[in-house]
Amino acid sequence: MSPMTWFAIYMIIWWTVLFAVLPLGSRSFFEAGIKPPPGVDPGAPMNPNLKRKFITTTWLSAVVFGLFFLIMHFKLIRLPDLPAGA
């Protein structure tokens, strides 16, 4: 596979992991029992910690991508071995 293909696969993994990491450790105004500022939804996180979540997403994605790369490189699972859809 070309480097662009590997990069595209990494980016797909990164976005998928981001959506899994985003809700972790977030407390909304409603859960904390605090009245939100005007114009803010009560379900919005009080402190989203986006920088920390992006860093966590990056290293976690690298681990998942590394596992995927090893599986593909050593042909532990080949595409013909996967069950076909109905």
pLDDT digits (tens, 9 = 90+) for 10-45: 999 999 999 999 999 999 999 999 999 999 999 999
List the domain range (segments joined by +) for residue 57: 9-81
Residue 2 resides in a domain: no
Q: How far apart are alpha carbons 25 and 57 in whole angstroms? A: 14
Question: pLDDT per residue over 35-73, tens digit each?
Answer: 999 999 999 999 999 999 999 999 999 999 999 999 989
pTM of the entire predicted model: 0.83
Residue 72 resides in a domain: yes
Residue 3 resides in a domain: no
Residue 69 resides in a domain: yes
Region at 45 (left for phi over 0; alpha for psi -120 to 50; beta for the rest):
beta
Q: Evaluate whether 40 touches 48 at the Cβ level (below 8 Å).
A: no
Residue 86 resides in a domain: no
Residue 77 resides in a domain: yes
Residue 13 resides in a domain: yes
Residue 56 resides in a domain: yes
- Between helices 3-21 and 50-73, what is the axis angle to 10°? 130
- Tally of domains in the chain: 1
Residue 31 has what pLDDT? 93
Token pair recorded at residue 9: 């696969």
At residue 18, what is the residue type?
A: L
Backbone angles phi, psi at 28, to 5 degrees: -85, 165
